[in-house]
Amino acid sequence: MSHDVSPTAESAPSNLRWWILITVIVGTFLGRLDQTIVNLALPKIIQDYGITVSSAGWIATAYILANAVFVPIWGKLGDTIGRKKVYILGFTIFIIGSVLAGFAWNLTSMIIFRVIQAIAGSADYPTAMAIIAVTFKPGKERSQALGIWSSSFAAASVFGPLIGGPLIDNFGWRSVFLVNLPVGIIGLLMAMKFINESKSERVSTTFDWWGALTLGGALSSLVLVLDKGLDWGWTSSESLLCYFSVITFFTVFISIEKKVEEPIVDLKFFKIPVFVNVTLNNFIVFMGMMGGIFLIPVFAQTFMGFNATQTGYLFMPMAGALMLAAPLGGALSGRVPSRYIIAASTFVAAIGLFMFAHLDPRSTSIDIIVPLGVMAFGMGFGMSQRTSIIASVVAENEIGIASSVLALARNIAGAFGISVFATILKNTTENNLLKIAQLSTLNNPAMKGEFIGLMALKAQINAYNTVFVVAAAFVLVGAILSFWIKVPHERNDIEVHVE
């Protein structure tokens, strides 16, 4: 039964449904493109502002913090006041924030405008997924739509370097922000024309502001320590303060959500076994994936002699594999149980990650392209299954907030993965260097500099290989856990269980 106040999947014309999908893809692609493209501009921003690399890191950190905090808030607002309203509001503010960032005059103004961008950009995921879920019929059609939409995430991360490089070289770093204005206006006009309004039949009388604030405090502290912990030291006073803040805010948040009438995150979701299993699987898989894949550009440019543009080209086949696999996963819906599709896709992705464990300075572009393609294909045909499962096991009036929880798990997992594997890389390199030094002998003192350099190189290469093996093992665990994802055939099964 539909809980929407507008034309639903059953009444919306078929051609309109696909125009709605294209519209939300434009918004999602633009938001994710902005995240990847700005990283390329950082060296120029550092030079222009005369700031340190460490200071410039706050441009990315501020964005991640604000994005993580506001995802569940937008999800709840979309379900409450209307997804089209929230989507358009977020899109509009994102365009304004982009233009302001394009004219930022110093680091402080840039950070403020990036936070505005992040707050607005975080409205996209929960509202876009909810719009797709209520527009397309449950089952195969919805899974195909979610699969195609999901592939836009990866496509944006791939095309970011390809688009950003020429923009920065020819028009300066400010162009990566200002380009959002014309593209954003097109996406905004499409949203106004094609997207139907939808929200819960139940009218909310209050908003859980205290829940939002305490969740924001917990997430801010968590993302901050994950991003800066390696620089600060995991046992430093700054990190310990963040740990204390996470525990305190989260404890208060849980207490509030148990008592408030309309919580920002309904804890009953976590009484649904399939919801918990999908979220846990999503967390483990993305932790392994992000923890491993963020090192690929670093390795290619540090040890294989590739420049930024050449490294971007390595990721192009990855986008093709994702775009090919995502509709395939949707087509398998209804024919093969979701848990088997997710398990198979995750296993293939783990194989792709493991293939990176043999990289060395003599490796060629093919040695990166093939594993990336395998990994992307694996992730691609399982993406839509996770999102469609979440959409199928909660009431339609709660799809936005439920999907925001899934997005939150993915974002936090990515931050965990990058922090954990960066720490593993650093510690393993140091341990490897000690072991190699103990087993090595220098016969010609004149070659001392080259001798130390070769030991350091060997230690780093072996450390990278170790990280890729560990990342593949994480994803493999996610594949095994997929077999516990069992989706009931009827929505009533879930509703009875929750009650």
Query: 159 versus 471: which is more confidently predicted?
Result: 471
Same domain, 203 and 282: no
pLDDT at residue 102, rounded to an integer: 93
* CA-based nearest residue to 389, from 267, 277, 266: 277
Least reliable range by pLDDT among 49-58, 214-223, 437-446, 486-495? 486-495
Last residue of a domain, one of 207, 222, 247: 207
pLDDT at residue 293, rounded to an integer: 76
Same domain, 202 and 286: no
DSSP string, 103-161: T--SHHHHHHHHHHHHHHHTTHHHHHHHHHHHHSPTTHHHHHHHHHHHHHHHHHHHHHH
Distance CA 346, CA 338 (A): 12
DSSP string, 389-427: HHHHHS-GGGHHHHHHHHHHHHHHHHHHHHHHHHHHHHH
Task: Please compute the mean of the pLDDT values over residues 474-487 and round it to a whole number.
Answer: 87
% of the chain residues with pLDDT over 90 = 15
Residue with tokens 């493209």: 37
* CA-based nearest residue to 12, from 130, 126, 134, 144: 134
User: Which tokens in the block code for residue 366?
Assistant: 């093919």
pLDDT at residue 425, rounded to an integer: 84
pLDDT at residue 199, rounded to an integer: 63
pLDDT at residue 100, rounded to an integer: 95
Same domain, 196 and 291: no
Q: What is the CATH number of the domain that holds 163?
A: 1.20.1250.20
Task: Please compute the mean of the pLDDT values over residues 434-451 and round it to a whole number.
Answer: 63
Same domain, 274 and 174: no
The total number of structural domains that make up the chain: 2
CA distances from 498 to 28, 260, 262, 328 (A): 32, 18, 16, 32
Same domain, 196 and 309: no
**Please, what is the average pLDDT of the chain?**
79
Does the structure show a pLDDT above 80 at 265?
no
User: Which tokens in the block code for residue 106?
Assistant: 């110093």
DSSP string, 52-96: -HHHHHHHHHHHHHHHHHHHHHHHHHHHHH-HHHHHHHHHHHHHH
Assess if residue 460 is contained within a domain.
Answer: yes
Evaluate whether 270 touches 405 at the Cβ level (below 8 Å): no
Task: For residue 37, name the pLDDT band (cuts at 50, 70, 90).
Answer: confident
Distance CA 118, CA 108 (A): 15
Task: Please compute the mean of the pLDDT values over residues 109-134 and round it to a whole number.
Answer: 85
Same domain, 16 and 84: yes
Residue 482 per-residue DSSP state: G
Assess if residue 219 is contained within a domain.
Answer: no
pLDDT at residue 125, rounded to an integer: 74
Assess if residue 231 is contained within a domain.
Answer: no
Task: Please compute the mean of the pLDDT values over residues 133-142 and round it to a whole number.
Answer: 76
Does the structure show a pLDDT above 90 at 27?
no
Q: b/e map of 445-461 (b: 16 or more CB within 10 Å)?
A: eeeeeebeeebeebbbb
Alpha-carbon dihedral sign for residues 204, 205, 211, 213: positive
User: Which tokens in the block code for residue 350?
Assistant: 């783990």
Assess if residue 222 is contained within a domain.
Answer: no
pLDDT at residue 308, rounded to an integer: 62
Assess if residue 295 is contained within a domain.
Answer: yes
Q: b/e map of 318-347 (b: 16 or more CB within 10 Å)?
A: bbebbbebbbbbbebbeeebbbebbbbbbb
Domain extent, residue 444, equals: 265-499
Same domain, 159 and 300: no
Number of other residues whose CB lies within 10 A of the CB of residue 116: 17
pLDDT at residue 497, rounded to an integer: 36
Evaluate whether 129 touches 4 at the Cβ level (below 8 Å): no
Task: Please compute the mean of the pLDDT values over residues 340-345 and round it to a whole number.
Answer: 90
pLDDT at residue 284, rounded to an integer: 85
Task: For residue 476, name the pLDDT band (cuts at 50, 70, 90).
Answer: very high
Number of other residues whose CB lies within 10 A of the CB of residue 256: 19
Over residues 357-399, the pLDDT tens digits come to 988 888 899 999 999 889 888 887 777 777 778 777 877 667 7
Query: 135 versus 293: which is more confidently predicted?
Result: 135
Last residue of a domain, one of 207, 233, 256: 207
Does the structure show a pLDDT above 60 at 3?
no
Same domain, 10 and 138: yes
Same domain, 197 and 280: no
Same domain, 313 and 193: no
Over residues 186-244, the pLDDT tens digits come to 989 998 988 887 665 555 566 777 887 888 888 878 878 877 787 788 889 999 999 99
Evaluate whether 98 touches 177 at the Cβ level (below 8 Å): yes
Assess if residue 94 is contained within a domain.
Answer: yes
Last residue of a domain, one of 165, 185, 207: 207
User: Which tokens in the block code for residue 296?
Assistant: 């690929």
pTM: 0.70
Query: 475 versus 5: which is more confidently predicted?
Result: 475
Task: Please compute the mean of the pLDDT values over residues 447-473 and round it to a whole number.
Answer: 78
Over residues 388-441, the pLDDT tens digits come to 787 778 776 677 677 777 777 877 787 778 778 878 888 888 888 888 766 656
Same domain, 40 and 128: yes
pLDDT at residue 452, rounded to an integer: 63
Task: For residue 492, name the pLDDT band (cuts at 50, 70, 90).
Answer: very low
Does the structure show a pLDDT above 50 at 185?
yes
Evaluate whether 353 touches 371 at the Cβ level (below 8 Å): yes
Task: For residue 457, name the pLDDT band (cuts at 50, 70, 90).
Answer: confident
Assess if residue 86 is contained within a domain.
Answer: yes
CA distances from 118 to 102, 115, 459 (A): 15, 5, 38
Please tell me the number of Cα atoms within 13 Å of 97 on its side-chain side: 22
Assess if residue 242 is contained within a domain.
Answer: no
Task: Please compute the mean of the pLDDT values over residues 315-339 and round it to a whole number.
Answer: 77
Same domain, 51 and 136: yes
pLDDT at residue 148, rounded to an integer: 76
Cβ contacts of residue 446 below 8 Å, gap of 6+? none
pLDDT at residue 399, rounded to an integer: 72
Cβ contacts of residue 347 below 8 Å, gap of 6+? 378, 476, 479
Evaluate whether 29 touches 156 at the Cβ level (below 8 Å): yes
Evaluate whether 94 touches 80 at the Cβ level (below 8 Å): no
Side chain identity, residue 408: L
Q: What kind and span of H or E run contains 430?
A: helix 399-439
Task: For residue 499, name the pLDDT band (cuts at 50, 70, 90).
Answer: very low
Residue with tokens 């990866």: 154
